[in-house]
Every structure is written in structure tokens, then in C-alpha cells.
Amino acid sequence: MSNVKKVVLAYSGGLDTSVILKWLEDTYNCEVVTFTADIGQGEEVEPAREKARAMGVKEIYIEDLREEFARDYVFPMFRANTLYEGEYLLGTSIARPLIAKRLVEIANETGADAIAHGATGKGNDQVRFELGAYALKPDVKVIAPWREWDLLSREKLMAYAKEHDIPVDFAKAGKKSPYSMDANSLHISYEGGILEDPWAEPEEGMWRWTVSPEQAPDTPTYIELTYAKGDVVAIDGQAVTPGQVMEQLNRIGGENGIGRADIVENRYVGMKSRGAYETPGGTILLKAHRAIESLTLDREVAHLKDELMPRYAELIYNGYWWSPEREMLQEMIDASQRTVNGRVRLKLYKGNVIVVGRQSASDSLFDESIATFEDDAGAYDQKDAEGFIKLNALRLRIAARRRR
């Protein structure tokens, strides 16, 4: 292990990663560089700097990546209307490639020999971090302490922290949360506790971002989203950045009880896992994006996108964001968005996102003169449908005659 002289650690400042920091120093006799990212988790990240300093870390990276996360990861994913297994909006999955990228970049900047993360050996995140790292730096060494050490309980972690004078709020750390949670500007997830029983209903007190639909306002909230090339660029006529889109839609959606999901999903490592998710802004984005596409996308392009989406979602879920196949699909998806321009009006009411209007001055394919149920003044000759139907029925008629 002496060949590892410096490691970049994805560091939150909590019990687990603080123990990992000290364990890396002791086990590998190496210097540790800490990296803490603000990707919209809603918690102060600066305390991680003080904790790292208290543990003697000389190189500390604290970075605000909220705009980059929304612009370069969340928005491209929503151009594809991405859902994993028909329900999951991939809030945890889409954050991992950005963290992996910065771990590798910091390793290059600091001359580190390895990177380290705190993901367990049972979950998807270990795969996502490491596939991303290897795609960007093929010879990088990855250290995953949960696959190496014997500190496999919170009690053992706390005992290790006390033994090595690791600065941890033991009163807080000792009150084990019943849930394992992950948050960023797209979602917050909950696993563990009573959720390990797929029959048990989540406790109302668990949810942090959303009111229950029953407690949401009795009057609807209307919002208007403006799209340019498939991305939201304004809310109610006011220009917004991608990061601001996520912040505002999470707030508005949460106030209206939007975005709760309770899912049993198939992890890449093979097991089924039950998780609960709050994704208010993402739920709004998915509904609105499909609405503007319904107006501006050619039928066959829209249907092809829907066919490709499950594969695209699976790539992100399994950690292949930096793979050539995901990048190829992204090129196709982005090309389809050139005409996805216009406005969508939504009504938010007690957990529901209801599309009440869509409009595109430049790219709408909706022709009222043809679609009307009134007199179309000859815009569409209904007699043409007879030949169309007979040609499409030809093979069916031939087969039916043979069956007589």
C-alpha cells in the first residue's frame, strides 16, 4: 500500500467520511485531499472545511457546482424525458458522474495517486463513481473503504472516531437516523428503516421538501415555463439559469404536494431495493417537457425518442454517463431539441401537475385549419383516408382470406 502517497476523498464532513479520512491516513500512510461539493443538497458545506482543517488536511476543495450540475447533467437528461423503470427520475444517479469527474480532475491537479469514496459494497453508487473515474482516468486507483475495513456498524465507526480523536458531533452521530438519505437540487431520497418493508407506508414526518397532497393549498397555482431547444429558460416570463429553475420549481412543487414517489427498483448489483423520493421540480419538468414536445416534435422523432429513453435511463442508472453509447444517444436527443421552443402553462394542485396550455410561435406542428372539427375549407380531403386505410389493411385482408 506504500505506493499510494496522496488520495482525493469525496468528503462530507460527517461521521462516515471523517472516519474514512483518518483510516486512509493510517492504512495507506498517505496524505488526503478532501473534496466537498455543493450540488444543491440544502445543507451548509463550509463546516466540512473546518473539520478537514481540524484533522490536519492541507488541501481542501469546497466547490459550488449547482449550476454545472443543473446545466450539464440534469437538463440534458430531461431532454430525453428520462425515467428508470417507468418511475424513478434518477436524482441520485445523475449526480455521480459530476462528482467522479471532479475527483479525477482534482487528482490530476494535486498529483494524487488515488481517489476514495464512501459508498458501500451493496449499492449502485460504488459502480457509478468508479465507472466514471475509470472512463476519465483509466489507470486511477480507487479506494472503497467499505469493501476493505471491518467497521461495518455505526457503533464501530463511533468507537473508531473516539479512539482517534476525530472531531465528530457524537451526540448527533449517536442518534441514528432511521433513513439513509441523499439530496441534491433534483431530489432527496430515503432508504432503510421501515422502508425496508415494502408493505409499510412511509411516515408523514419523513418527507422534508413536500407537503402532503391533502395539506396542499385548496386553490391551484399556475406557472408558465418558456423553452428554448428543450431547456427551460424562463419561469413566468422571468429569465432563469438552470440552477434557479431547479430551486424555484422545487419550492413551488413542494408547496403543492408534488413529486413524492415510493418505488421498488432493481439495483445494478442485482438486488431489489425499496426507496422513497421527493422530486418536485423534476416532476414538473418532465410533464412540461413532454407537453412542449407534443406540439413541436415530428411524430416519428417523438416515438423514436420514447423507444430510446429506457436504454438511456438504464445507462445513467448503472453509471455509464461517460460511456460512448450514452454520448451517442445524447447527440441524437439534443439534435431532436432544436425545434423544442415555446411555452407551457401548468396548473399545480394537490400533488398533480396539469398541462393547461402549450404554444410555439415558431415551431408548432399543430395546424388548426387541418385539425378542426369545423369546416376546414378543403384543407384536408377526407376521401384520401379511404385509400390510406385500404393500403394499410392489405396484408390483414390477405391473411384473413388464407385463414378461411
Q: Please provide the size of the chain in residues.
A: 404
- Alpha carbon distance 349, 220 (integer Å): 5
Is 236 considered catalytic here? no
Grid cell in block for residue 275: 426507496
Q: Which long-range contacts (CB under 8 A, 24 or more apart) does 73-76 make?
A: 73/97, 73/98, 73/321, 74/185, 74/186, 74/242, 74/246, 74/282, 75/231, 75/232, 75/242, 76/330, 76/333, 76/334
Is 326 considered catalytic here? no
Question: Coil, helix or strand for 347?
Answer: strand
Is 262 considered catalytic here? no
Q: Please give the C-alpha separations between residue 230 and each of 208, 235, 362, in angstroms, as whole numbers.
A: 30, 14, 14
How wide is the angle at C-alpha 149 spanned by C-alphas 143 and 152, nearest 5°?
120
Strand partners, 84: 88
Among 125, 189, 343, 360, the one annotated catalytic: 125
Q: How far apart are the first and last CA of the chain?
A: 78
How wide is the angle at C-alpha 69 spanned by C-alphas 64 and 75, nearest 5°?
150
Grid cell in block for residue 10: 469525496
> Are 17 and 117 within 8 A, CB to CB?
no
Q: Which long-range contacts (CB under 8 A, 24 or more apart) does 139-142 make?
A: 140/104, 140/107, 140/114, 140/115, 141/4, 141/113, 141/114, 141/115, 142/114, 142/115, 142/116, 142/117
Type of residue found at 272? K
Among 16, 38, 113, 231, the one annotated catalytic: 16
Among 66, 79, 96, 343, the one annotated catalytic: 96
Among 71, 72, 180, 363, the one annotated catalytic: 180
Is 180 considered catalytic here? yes
Query: Which residues have a catalytic role annotated?
Result: 16, 96, 125, 180
